[in-house]
Structure 1
């Protein structure tokens, strides 16, 4: 037994059992010259040593990459065949399989949490949930998903979103205008929940918005159609105008209503960029911070003009109405950062 270990010699049956191949397959490899045993017993049994086993590993690795036996023979016949590269590719393949298995485990854990909060999901629920999770994988890294409350949704939160979508669809289909008090309240709830479920991260919100816009599966799964989304945006704009009404005159409100429908995507991208600057601890006087402050001023002026009296009214409104920032991903710290950066700009 010890002699067998020292010489590391395996009979064909032992090698077949250890490698997962059949004896017949090893006979075939021998017959085509792909894996010829280094020795035979006096009785004619094939014996495989360590070098033979190493070559078999290379053969199996290349087979898993889809290479034919003939091509494998040609590859291994090369005196400079990159064996280390074969092992590296196998490691990369295993890493990918581990990542896929980990993602599947998270998907199943997510479904388990849903089941713990209620009844057994139907087959369609399982499939749509898996489909949505695959969509999230396209827009977020694994680390980001761990920080995204949407990914960790429980059954209660999911049902809350489903109920809100149904309520908004109902008032929209009944023809209730967005400026009515009911839609305004629903839109405020919507934006509060969205801000919460994106961890108050505007870049997360921006990517989810893009996903909802271009992925039919996301619209089908959530019921959030482009029409419903637009209705919510208009109702939320009316909600904010109602808050501003105590501070601005009719002309100012009219201009703000027109400006609110413009540059929506630019605003969200800018808010996300400022958020990243804050998270990075950037100096307000940094050139990148100053560039963001200039863009902020430009978009703000396009929305409400540059009348100093109006600007002062808006600042006053924000000090008195905290709800103006709720559901916008804009924080007081962000506004302070923009003001500080703007103060470092040279005179125009």
Structure 2
């Protein structure tokens, strides 16, 4: 079989297992990306096995960077398939956004470093320490307001127990995860993702996973939180500051996902 000299021998490509091992993701993840058309192995060996070429692996790395920056997979696919943007355009864009994120994370690390000698842990931090870790948008009264609303609930007991077990390193990770998640929310809102869509429901479930850091969050509880995000001026200002109209859109997303899981948003209670 003759091979074009300018094209690598497909037998030099990577099987899905080898590609997953080298880039640090699971085989299941690569299979999923293949199924949704995000990254597909473009070559075959002489024996007929599908393999990832060098260009495919480069695309995997671009996906990983955009995912780390909080972009939903559907949006990553649209960005990478933009006919007006080549690989260098993506690299320059990613470099700029990564530098912005690095700067934010460095500020967070500096705040955490100042607290390493503190004896108190978790959310039982002073308001000043909370702001230092989570940034200027953090409002210490959110914790106080939550305690007033739900201090007698089983979930608040879970919250106090789990929060007290977190180290400052853990809180740094939680802050980074929260920042990444809110970036994904803002991108989805700006991209006019429809409440009730698979992408929107995925964000709602990602929010439930994030809440499990503190307590076991049901869909009914998410509905109650969605109401608060719109009705509470502090929360509404926070979300709308991320993207115009985000607070109401986020409530609509949580309501739609709850309804899809058998919960009536009109009658849902904190349970």
Q: Return the TM-score normalized by structure 1.
A: 0.32
Q: Return the TM-score normalized by structure 2.
A: 0.39
Higher helix share: 1
Rg: which structure is higher? 1
